[in-house]
Amino acid sequence: MVEIDDGAIELSLAAGASYRQFRLQDIELTLAPNGPPTPGAPPVAPERLMTLNAHCGGDVVRRIRAGGWVHPDSKSWHVTGGVDGLDLSADLVALAAACWPQAAPNGEIRGTVDLDFSSRRIVTNAKSPPPPELEFRGKLTGGHVDDRRLPNP
């Protein structure tokens, strides 16, 4: 079993020519053997299927929560969770734009975002593993968008 109690991680991520720093704190994570038999999980010995439960907060997010299963031998997983109170700050927008140019806004975006996510990868053939699947659903819960293409309210 792997357990992290009250951990912290500081991230320094490249955003163009500069770096942005973010902190995750109050990390609680448990990775325990004998995960439950889950629909879609590969047929494996139960002791090799791990159950994952985690949550944390940070300087730009109120709470991140995740749970699911991981199978280390086949590199398969299915994890779902959510992000509550993500601060859509200028630093975070700049980081997203540096990674994905199509995400660069034409104006200023500020606010708070809540989202749910799901990530899975089920490997049935190690010689031809599928790419990971990732799905996000979210909403802007407060803030504003200043974009010259939008009409004034």
The reported pLDDT for the residue numbered 44 is 66
DSSP for 38-82, please give it.
-TT--S--GGG-EEEEEEEEESSEEEEEEEEEEETTTTEEEEEEE
pLDDT in tens, 96-153: 777 778 777 777 778 899 999 999 998 888 899 999 999 999 998 888 777 777 776 5
The reported pLDDT for the residue numbered 43 is 64
Beta bridge partners of 22: 11
Q: What is the value of pTM for the model shown?
A: 0.78
CB 38 within 8 A of CB 78: yes
pLDDT in tens, 56-89: 999 989 999 999 999 888 888 999 999 999 998 7
Q: Which amino acid is at 83?
A: V
